[in-house]
């Protein structure tokens, strides 16, 4: 029997306010290009009137319905961990999961966000000055971007978050993982911005329902690079202002694609065509 006639593989995404996500389209398009049936659904907490407290039931339901895996996004990347059986080394180190493989009755947690950001940064900002950077945001995505940029060789990282305890925790976690780097939390973004080469933005600010800038625009200088994680819209207000002020910029599209590349491989056991997935993403965001 032709493979396209076999029972489809099924996966999904759990998160809040995810109706605009392009992840399902990227996964299903790549599956079709490889010649197999692949269904990918959105499990939107907002639409279903649920909260993260429903994660145990949602995981049970996904297993009962035969899903091969789940992507996990805001606000569940850290909250899902107690309900998993095993964690990859990266997921354990980061304390955040964005990909859960459902296999042989077990739930295996992974983190492809960090690699997605690292690969996007490596391709999109080659030769960027990695002497010092500021990161705004210390949640699940911020943990991944911090791990990624430090893995690429960043020497000094200053972390900000509206919840100071969360920034402090991220700084402690990364300091243990990267003892040769200087990593600290701060509440004084003005002072921190004086001596950095770049800015990583890892909060939802800039999305359609969270408009605005994550820092005063006058702090952006032409020598800064600015890396964004928001990809809907692809050109956030932060990136627009940064361009106007002469900064090199990186949008959140690459991270979105490469985390999906990693998740696709984990879910299906097949090697995705990253270039094809980048092209498909570009077509979706025109």
Q: Is 177 exposed, middle or buried (0-12, 13-18, 19+ CB in 10 A)?
A: middle
Residues near 237 by beta carbon (within 8 Å), at least 6 away in sequence: 206, 211, 212, 213
The alpha-helical segments, DSSP class H, found in 49-157 are: 55-64, 89-94, 113-124, 140-151
Among candidate residues 110, 97, 116, the one with its CA nearest the CA of residue 258: 116
Q: Which of 7, 77, 155, 221 is catalytic?
A: 77
Alpha-carbon gap, residue 239 to 249, rounded angstroms: 6
| Contact present, 229 and 37 (Cβ < 8 Å) | no
In whole angstroms, give the CA distance from residue 263 to residue 257.
10
- Residue 111's φ and ψ, nearest 5 degrees, are -130, 110
> 209 catalytic, yes or no?
no
Please give the Cα distance from 104 to 262 (Å, whole number): 20
Q: What is the DSSP letter of 195?
A: G
Strand partners, 156: 132, 182
Look at strands 86-87 and 38-44 and give their pairing: unpaired
User: Half-sphere exposure (CA, 13 Å, Cβ side) for 157?
Assistant: 33
Q: Active-site positions?
A: 77
């Amino acid at each position: 029997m032709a493979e396209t006639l076999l029972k489809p593989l099924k996966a999904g995404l759990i998160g809040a306010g995810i109706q605009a996500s392009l992840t399902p389209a990227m996964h299903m398009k790549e599956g079709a290009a490889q010649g197999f049936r692949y269904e990918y659904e959105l499990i939107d907490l907002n639409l279903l009137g649920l909260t993260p407290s429903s994660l145990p039931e949602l995981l049970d339901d996904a297993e009962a319905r035969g899903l091969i895996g789940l992507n996990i996004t805001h606000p569940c990347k850290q909250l899902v961990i107690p309900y998993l059986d095993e964690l990859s080394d990266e997921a354990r180190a980061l304390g955040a999961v964005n990909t859960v493989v459902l296999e042989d009755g077990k739930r295996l947690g992974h983190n492809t966000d960090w690699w997605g950001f690292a690969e996007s940064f490596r391709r999109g900002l080659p030769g960027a000055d990695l002497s010092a950077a500021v990161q705004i945001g210390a949640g699940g995505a911020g943990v991944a971007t911090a791990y990624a940029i430090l893995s690429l060789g960043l020497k000094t990282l200053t972390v900000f978050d509206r919840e100071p305890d969360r920034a402090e925790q991220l700084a402690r976690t990364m300091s243990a993982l990267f003892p040769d780097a200087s990593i600290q939390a701060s509440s004084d973004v003005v002072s921190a911005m004086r001596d950095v080469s770049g800015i990583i933005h890892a909060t939802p600010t800039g999305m359609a329902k969270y408009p605005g800038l994550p820092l005063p625009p006058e702090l952006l200088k032409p020598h800064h690079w600015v890396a964004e994680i928001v990809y809907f819209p692809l050109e956030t207000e932060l990136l627009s202002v940064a361009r106007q002020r002469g900064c090199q910029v990186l949008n959140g599209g690459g991270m979105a694609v490469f985390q999906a590349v990693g998740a696709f491989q984990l879910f299906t056991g097949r090697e995705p065509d990253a270039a094809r997935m980048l092209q498909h993403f570009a077509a979706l965001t025109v």
